[in-house]
Structure 1
């Protein structure tokens, strides 16, 4: 099996710190769920979305995919060209949205309004915020991280809230997700146990 390795790192002004999302194909991060049990986040491979090659980051709970992100590096950030939540494919008809965009500094925001594709068919604004730089301890160790919040709403149809604590080498080390699309609900919170 051929391994494709990539690491997106957004540098902070003045060299104060960095934030990144490792896109190493085949790597699996194991998380301990807040309410007990485990889930994983893995880079399952590459797929083309609208002529752009994307790394596919899949969140699995009890071995079943609950969230899939199709990510592609672009300039000082990482664009998300597609998101699948359960059976709901949140394809972005108008343009990709930022999953992560520098500069990484407290209070910096990234986002845009996009036109959602079928079956949603409406305008939605995605907004990410670098909330703070923190040192946190999880089962895998102690890490200096950026806490990044990501949210989007479109009436009662779409509600997304994610908070990720991201370390430049390990990627996501803590995550909290509360999202719903139509009647599909995903609630997941956990801390990194290992990355293999």
Structure 2
């Protein structure tokens, strides 16, 4: 959304994109990869499995196309909720409208997951856990808690997924995968990571 709470076109980005402060400056940030430099990313792809990543991406694209109308309605409803809050009006009606759209999105997602259950099983993605993740994320988004959805997966939900999936969502904190990644220094960008010059 822009500063007037108007929905903006979606921007597709990487789940592992993070920001880091610029060195030797009082302000400024740059985009970085949470996984690490090019070598770390290649190790991660090898361990998670490139073919698996491609199949997950294809399924995500199908789901995104299917759910796009609902996502657009969710952002419009969220914009109305935030505008009401900023203007000092009651947000109750706007929040109820947002919840209705969120419920429709969840129902559509549940149908999609049911139709693609066999593919999900092959990818080791339990449909119930995926739906729970969507439900939790939307619950936080519907609540008056800013305009950004929180896609960090709670520990109890993450436990429902196998190691490979946990490594996908949390490359540094997953059992069996963390050894492949060395911690990133806040002062030195790993080789292969773009860092803007001050």
Bucket of the pairwise TM-score, normalised by the shorter protein: 0.3 to 0.5
Bigger strand share: 1
Of the two, which has the highest radius of gyration? 2
Bigger helix share: 2
Q: What is the TM-score with the length of structure 2 in the denominator?
A: 0.33
Higher relative contact order (CA 8 A, sep 6+): 2
Q: What is the TM-score with the length of structure 1 in the denominator?
A: 0.33
